[in-house]
Amino acid sequence: MKTFAAPDGTVWGVNIQSPSSSSSMIMFRHPDGRSSRLDRYNWVINQGPEARSVTARLDPDTVLAQLDEAAITRLFGRSMPVSRPDVLSGRADVETA
């Protein structure tokens, strides 16, 4: 797992989940850790030769190793919350990027 310091100073954990042949989900884990409500995600698209093989699977560690700080910053900037704000109970504890 890598870490990423957001512009507001929050240090997020970064890991790769759900690899396929052409994409993987990048997860930004909020340091609070009490709930996944504050976590964020985005998709990493692979253009390599394995993207053309339906039986291939990307290695999560390799995908994460290939992402530099600039790529992670760009992906975080366009990331989406894992959970929606809970408007029915009046809780809106999901932060925006």
**Mean pLDDT throughout 72-95?**
78
Residues in the chain, overall count: 97
Domain locations in the chain as residue ranges: 2-81
Best CA proximity match to 40, nearest among 50, 49, 31, 30: 30
Best CA proximity match to 46, nearest among 60, 58, 64, 28: 58
- Partnered with residue 80 across adjacent β-strands are 41
Please give the pLDDT value at position 35.
Answer: 76
For 14-69, write each residue's pLDDT tens digit: 999 999 999 999 999 999 887 788 999 999 999 888 888 888 899 999 999 999 99
8 Å CB contact between 50 and 56: yes
